[in-house]
Structures are given as C-alpha cells and as structure tokens.
C-alpha cells in the first residue's frame, strides 16, 4: 500500500487541486515573475494529505461538489503557508528534500510569501460561500499560530511533560487535519453527528500523524526525511521520543544535557542512539497507534462507502509510513 493507491478514489479531485495551484502561479507569470517562480517552487510535492482528507470526508457523505474542491485547495494552501513560515523561523535549508524559500529568496520574502498564501487560502475558503467553514478556517489558523507560539516558548526547555506535548501537536498539526475532514463533511451537507465524527477522525489522525513524524525524525534517514536526522531536537524542540528518554532517566540524560548546552554534538548523537535502542520508539508507536485506532473506530457509525474504507486504510498507513 502506498499513498497513490490510497488516494485512488479521489485521484481526479486531487488533480483539480493541482490545477488550481497551477492557475494560481500562472496568474503572476507576466506581471510579477518573481512571485510566479516562488509559487511554482512551493506549490509542488508534499503528501497533499489535507485535500485528500477533505475529498474523502465529503464523499463519505455525498458526491463531489465544486465547493469541496475550493475548500480542499484552501486547506493545502494554509498548510503550505505554515511550512513556509516554519522554515523561515527554523532557518531550515531543506524541506521535502528541496531547498526552502527562505534559503533561496531570504527570510523577508518567505514571511511575505507565507502571508500571501494565507490570504489566497482564505479567499478559497470564503469562495465556498459557506460561513461555517470560513469561520472554521480563521479559527484553525489561530489555533495553529498558538500551537507554534507554544512550541517557540518551550524551545530548549527541560521542564516539559506529555500534556504540554499533546497540546502543542494538537495545535500545530491536528487542528488542520481536523479542519480538512470537518470542512469536507460540512460542505457535503453531513448531519451534525457526521460532521463531528469526521472532525474527531481528523483530529485523532492528526495526533497519530504528528507522533509518527516525530518518531521518523529520529529513525529515518536523511534521504527519507529530506532533512537532517534529529532536526527537531537540534532546534530545541522536545518531541515524544526525547520526552520519554527524559522521563526514563530523570536524573541525567543526553537530552537534558543537550538542552542545557553541554557537549551538544556528543549528546545529540547519544540521545538518538539511546532513543533507538531502548524500546522508546516502540512505545512512541504504541501512542500513535492508540490515536490511529481511535480514528478508525470513530468511522464505524458512517454508512459503508469506498471513501470510508480509504479513510480507514489511510489511518493504518500513516502510522506505518517511512516518510
């Protein structure tokens, strides 16, 4: 099973999102070639997971509508905008194996390109003519920003716990996956119960997805990740595996020593090694699977459909993926 196979039921829909992206970039080709180049660079690649979720959730209830396409486009644009700002903040050089906007065009233009993408995302959301998803859009952007601000606050802090970790990943990742499935259900005309079911599905999927992301940051290869191994910890962000290591060795551990600025290179190497050899990865996966299973179980109440099966398969796949 790979993503392409999983996305088969919404393949044409996803091609339409790519069509929207192409139009978005092409619009500026003559009048503002620099903006065109930046958009061409950033609007490709990625898992296009958020639009897939929106389409699949919509199809669990009803067929395709033009409004769902608009919202799916908005959801992916918001995601890309947050990535552009994240990379500017982290001063990251690569993303998805490609050079970042901030590295190519500078932090200044990355900030403005992100703002531009937020604006276009908002326009796509409002173009659904549905106030509920338009409000959800702004609320979600606010939640993401607060999640990111909490992460920035906690950077290089040794006093962290599971509650704070979950709060952060709920904000920075689960909120957008929740919006992606929820908005599909709203625009397909789902009942309030169906909407809440798919919203909760997306939320739990988001938690599982981010935990796996945080695991892969330790066990993936640089080639698979498209960025250096242990990037999060290097940036001072304590994710689940690092947190578990700190909890297992409360008196002294390489993560705390790294955060305190002691022998950074040596301690980060030790942290990665101990995380990989201590059963922490397995424990982290169990945590991710807990949310993934919860997401799958939530779907039971929905009528049988190809897309319902695809959403289940997606939740299973996302905890098994390698990148």
Residues near its own copies (CB under 8 A) are: 32, 34-35, 82, 85, 88-89, 107-109, 111-116, 118-123, 125-127, 129, 131, 134-135, 137-139, 141-142, 144-146, 148-150, 152-153
Least CB distance from residue 20 to its own copies, whole Å?
15
139 or 221: whose CB is closer to its own copies?
139
68 or 215: whose CB is closer to its own copies?
68
Q: Which helix (H) or strand (E) holds 211?
A: helix 192-219
Using CA atoms, how far apart are residues 276 and 269, in angstroms rounded to an integer?
11
For residue 300, give Cα distances in angstroms to 206, 293, 311, 318: 18, 11, 11, 19
Using CA atoms, how far apart are residues 107 and 55, in angstroms rounded to an integer?
34
Contact in structure between 114 and 81 (CB atoms under 8 Å): yes
32 or 193: whose CB is closer to its own copies?
32
What's CA 247's distance to the chain center, in Å? 26
88 or 298: whose CB is closer to its own copies?
88
142 or 228: whose CB is closer to its own copies?
142
Least CB distance from residue 180 to its own copies, whole Å?
17
**What is the phi/psi pair of residue 166, to 5°?**
-65, -40
208 or 259: whose CB is closer to its own copies?
259
Least CB distance from residue 170 to its own copies, whole Å?
14
Using CA atoms, how far apart are residues 230 and 267, in angstroms rounded to an integer?
12
Q: Which helix (H) or strand (E) holds 205?
A: helix 192-219
Least CB distance from residue 85 to its own copies, whole Å?
5
The pairs formed by 162-170 with CB atoms below 8 angstroms and a separation of 24 or more are 162/243, 165/238, 165/239, 165/240, 165/243, 166/207, 169/206, 169/207, 169/210, 169/211, 169/214, 170/203, 170/206, 170/207
Least CB distance from residue 70 to its own copies, whole Å?
12
Least CB distance from residue 206 to its own copies, whole Å?
18
């Amino acid at each position: 099973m790979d993503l392409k196979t999983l996305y088969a039921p919404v393949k044409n829909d996803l091609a339409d999102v790519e069509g929207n992206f192409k139009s978005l970039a092409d619009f500026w080709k003559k009048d503002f070639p620099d903006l065109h180049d930046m958009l061409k660079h950033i609007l490709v690649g990625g898992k296009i997971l958020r639009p897939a979720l929106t389409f699949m959730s919509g199809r669990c209830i009803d067929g395709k509508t033009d409004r769902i396409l608009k919202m799916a486009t908005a959801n992916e644009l918001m995601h890309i905008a947050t990535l552009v700002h994240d990379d500017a903040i982290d001063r990251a050089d690569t993303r998805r194996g490609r050079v970042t906007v901030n590295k190519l065009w500078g932090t200044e233009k990355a900030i403005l390109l992100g703002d531009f993408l937020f604006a276009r995302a908002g326009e796509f959301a409002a173009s659904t003519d549905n106030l509920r998803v338009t409000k959800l859009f702004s609320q979600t952007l606010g939640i993401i920003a607060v999640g990111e601000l909490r992460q920035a606050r906690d950077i290089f802090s040794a006093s962290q716990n599971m509650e704070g970790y979950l709060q952060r990943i709920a904000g920075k990742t689960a909120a957008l996956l929740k919006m992606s499935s929820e908005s599909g259900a709203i625009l397909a005309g789902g009942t309030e119960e169906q909407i809440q079911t798919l919203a909760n599905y997306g939320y739990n999927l988001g938690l599982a997805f981010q935990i796996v992301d945080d695991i892969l940051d330790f066990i993936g290869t640089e080639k698979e990740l498209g960025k250096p191994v242990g990037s999060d910890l290097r940036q001072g962000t304590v994710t689940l595996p690092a947190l578990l290591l700190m909890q297992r060795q409360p008196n002294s551990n390489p993560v705390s020593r790294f955060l305190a600025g002691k022998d950074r290179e040596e301690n980060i190497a030790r942290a990665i090694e101990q995380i990989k050899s201590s059963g922490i990865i397995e424990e982290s996966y169990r945590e991710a699977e807990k949310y993934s299973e919860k997401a799958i179980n939530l779907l039971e109440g929905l009528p049988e459909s190809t897309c319902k099966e695809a959403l289940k398969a997606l939740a299973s796949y996302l905890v098994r993926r390698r990148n």
